[in-house]
Structure 1
Amino acid sequence: MAAPSPILDAGVWHDSEPLECVSILPEAPHTATFTFRAPSGALFDFQAGQFLTLEIPVPGGPVHRTYTISSSPSRPRSISITAKAQETSVGTRWMIDNLAPGMKIKAIGPTGLFCMAQHPAEKYLFISAGSGITPMMSMSTYMFDLGTRSDVVLINCARRPSEIIFRERLEHMASRDPGIDLKFVVEEPDIYRPWTGYQGMFNQLMLGLMTPDYLEREVFCCGPEPFMQAVRDALAGFGFDMEHYHQESFHAPVANEEDIPELDDTVPEEGARAEIVFAASGVTGHCAETDTVLAAAKASGLNIPSGCTFGVCGTCRIKKLSGEVHMVHNGGISEDDIEAGYILACCSNPIGRIEVEV
Structure 2
Amino acid sequence: MNSVERIFEPVPETTDRLSNSDTWESGGRLWPSGVRQTLTCCRVVDETHDVKSFEFRTSEGLPVRFEPGQFMTVSANVQGQSVERCYTISSAPTRPYLLSITVKRVPGGTMSNWLHENMQPGSQLAAYGPSGTFTPTAAPAAKSLYLSAGSGVTPLMSMTRAGIDLGLDRDVAFVHSARTPADIVFREELQRLAKLSPRLHLFFVCEGVGQEQDWAGATGRLSLELLSRWLPDYAEREVFTCGPAPYMSAVREMLREGGHDPARYHQESFDISAGVAPEPAEAKSEVAQETFTVKLSRSSKTFTINASETVLVAARKNGVAIPSSCSQGMCGTCKTMVLQGSVDMKHNGGIREREVQKGFRLLCCSRPTSDLVLEL
Q: TM-score, normalised by structure 1?
A: 0.68
Q: How many residues align?
A: 255
Secondary structure of the corresponding residue to residue 66 of structure 1:
strand
**Map of 2:216 onto structure 1:** 196
CA 246–109 in structure 1, closer or farther in 2 if over 3 Å, else same: same
- RMSD (Å) for aligned C-alpha atoms: 2.3
Preserved contact between residue 181 and residue 212 of structure 2 (Cα < 8 Å): no
How many Å apart are 1:255 and its aligned residue?
Answer: 2.8
CA 60–207 in structure 1, closer or farther in 2 if over 3 Å, else same: same
Deviation string 1:113-138 (CA, Å, 9 cap, x unpaired) is 10011211111000000000000100
Preserved contact between residue 125 and residue 152 of structure 1 (Cα < 8 Å): yes
Paired letter, 2:330 = A
Kindly report which structure 2 residues correspond to 1:217-236, keeping only aligned pairs within 5 A, or say none: 217-236=237-256
How many Å apart are 1:157 and its aligned residue?
Answer: 0.4
- Separation of aligned partners in 2, 1:184 and 1:158: 8
CA 11–49 in structure 1, closer or farther in 2 if over 3 Å, else same: closer
Preserved contact between residue 27 and residue 65 of structure 2 (Cα < 8 Å): no
- Separation of aligned partners in 1, 2:257 and 2:66: 35
**Map of 1:99 onto structure 2:** 119
Preserved contact between residue 10 and residue 40 of structure 1 (Cα < 8 Å): no
Kindly report which structure 2 residues correspond to 1:324-335, keeping only aligned pairs within 5 A, or say none: none
CA 144–9 in structure 1, closer or farther in 2 if over 3 Å, else same: closer
**Map of 2:67 onto structure 1:** 47
- Separation of aligned partners in 2, 1:20 and 1:13: 18
Paired letter, 1:157 = S
Paired letter, 1:175 = K
Say if 2:330 is the partner of 1:255. yes
Say if 2:266 is the partner of 1:246. yes
Q: TM-score, normalised by structure 2?
A: 0.64
Preserved contact between residue 22 and residue 35 of structure 1 (Cα < 8 Å): yes
Secondary structure of the corresponding residue to residue 128 of structure 1:
strand
How many Å apart are 1:8 and its aligned residue?
Answer: 10
Consecutive unaligned residues of structure 2, counting only runs of 5 or more, are 1-23, 273-325, 332-344, 350-376
Paired letter, 1:22 = C
- Separation of aligned partners in 2, 1:197 and 1:100: 35
How many Å apart are 1:198 and its aligned residue?
Answer: 0.9
Kindly report which structure 2 residues correspond to 1:291-310, keeping only aligned pairs within 5 A, or say none: none
**Map of 1:12 onto structure 2:** 29
- Separation of aligned partners in 1, 2:78 and 2:155: 26
Say if 2:107 is the partner of 1:90. no
- Separation of aligned partners in 2, 1:248 and 1:209: 26
Say if 2:78 is the partner of 1:58. yes
Paired letter, 1:197 = G
How many Å apart are 1:145 and its aligned residue?
Answer: 0.7
Preserved contact between residue 28 and residue 65 of structure 2 (Cα < 8 Å): no
Secondary structure of the corresponding residue to residue 190 of structure 1:
coil
Paired letter, 1:134 = T
Preserved contact between residue 112 and residue 254 of structure 1 (Cα < 8 Å): no
**Map of 2:167 onto structure 1:** 147
Higher relative contact order (Cα pairs below 8 Å, separated by 6+ residues): 2
- Separation of aligned partners in 2, 1:24 and 1:74: 20
Sequence identity percentage: 39
CA 189–145 in structure 1, closer or farther in 2 if over 3 Å, else same: same
Consecutive unaligned residues of structure 1, counting only runs of 5 or more, are 1-6, 262-358
- Separation of aligned partners in 1, 2:67 and 2:25: 20
CA 237–192 in structure 1, closer or farther in 2 if over 3 Å, else same: closer
Deviation string 1:272-303 (CA, Å, 9 cap, x unpaired) is xxxxxxxxxxxxxxxxxxxxxxxxxxxxxxxx
- Separation of aligned partners in 2, 1:229 and 1:212: 22
How many Å apart are 1:204 and its aligned residue?
Answer: 1.1
Task: Choose the corresponding residue for 1:33, options 48, 53, 70.
Answer: 53
Deviation string 1:119-166 (CA, Å, 9 cap, x unpaired) is 111110000000000001000001101112120000000000000000
Preserved contact between residue 10 and residue 42 of structure 1 (Cα < 8 Å): no
- Separation of aligned partners in 2, 1:17 and 1:226: 34
Deviation string 1:7-28 (CA, Å, 9 cap, x unpaired) is 9999516344311111110111
